A = this chain, B = another copy of it.
Amino acid sequence: MKTISTAKSHGGVQGVYSHRSEACDCDMTFAVFVPPQAKKAPCPVVWYLSGLTCTHQNVMDKGEYRRVAAEAGLIVVCPDTSPRGEGIPDEKDNWQFGSGAGFYLDATQEPFAKNYRMYSYITEELPALIKENFPTDMDRQAIFGHSMGGHGALTIALKHPERFKSCSAFAPIANPMTAGWSKPAFEKYLGADESSWREYDACALIEDGHRFTEFLVDQGKADGFLDDGLRPWLLEAACKDAGIPLTLRMRDGYDHSYFFISTFMEDHLRWHAERVVL
């Protein structure tokens, strides 16, 4: 692991790091905030998964998470959203596929299967690296994310209910296998057989029997992607049928941007802190 930069912020340290990823077969960059409490004892880890087009940097710059993370004693890990670089297959003018659009799945189709393995990266390779290099208490983890990263958080929590004490999302893609802006990506990454898409779709995972203790979701009512991409009502229906408690807050006037995310970041971090801090 290589340190790209570190800076003191809110009493803790915001760092950016890179490493050679085996899962993605390329160099990957990520950001980690370590709160001041970590000088005395290992801290809980909160994973933030970003949305389409983002890197680790968008939330690091605009997410406004450090103040509350420093107060509550949370390590916040912000990974990239896809493999990147020369030799990585991409569709240059398509922001919904390829670079910045890994969808937190393991691709099975060529030429993507070699690099687009964000599910393995986020659930196996990066946690091992974080555990080795930071003062973490990996028995206390939470996960959240935005948009495509909200989808990532929900699906990863549903598949690892024993690992995460809490899961929340800002404007998640509730049902990506049927949404206009993600279905083409699922087909290219996973092939034509839609049954294989279900393990990367929150609503389908719930239908197929996966469970999680509870979810918190904030969604802006003025979000331009609400009807075609996000559709939180599908998650609401799936949770209701399955008996999973879901707090879905529809927020008047808020859009899909970090102006929205940063507004409710404190709420989410405090909600996670209640569940992971001893």
Q: Which residues of A pack against B, CB within 8 Å?
A: 7-11, 14, 61-62, 64, 66-67, 220, 222, 253-255, 257-260, 262-263, 266
Contact = CB atoms under 8 A, between A and B. Distances in A.
- The quantity of this chain's copies bound in the complex is 2
B7 A257 contact: yes
Contacts of A8: 220, 222, 253-255, 259-260, 263
B7 A259 contact: yes
Nearest to A221: B8
A254 B11 CA distance: 9
Contacts of A253: 8
Contact of A7 (B10, B11, B255): B255
A67 B222 CA distance: 20
A64 B61 contact: no
Q: Name the 5 nearest CB pairs between A and B, nearest first.
A: A9-B259, A7-B259, A8-B253, A10-B263, A64-B64
A263 B262 CA distance: 15
Contacts of A255: 7-8
28 contacts: A7-B255, A7-B259, A7-B260, A8-B220, A8-B222, A8-B253, A8-B254, A8-B255, A8-B259, A8-B260, A8-B263, A9-B259, A9-B260, A9-B262, A10-B262, A10-B263, A11-B263, A14-B259, A61-B61, A61-B62, A61-B258, A62-B62, A64-B67, A66-B262, A66-B263, A67-B262, A67-B263, A67-B266
A255 to B, nearest CB: 6
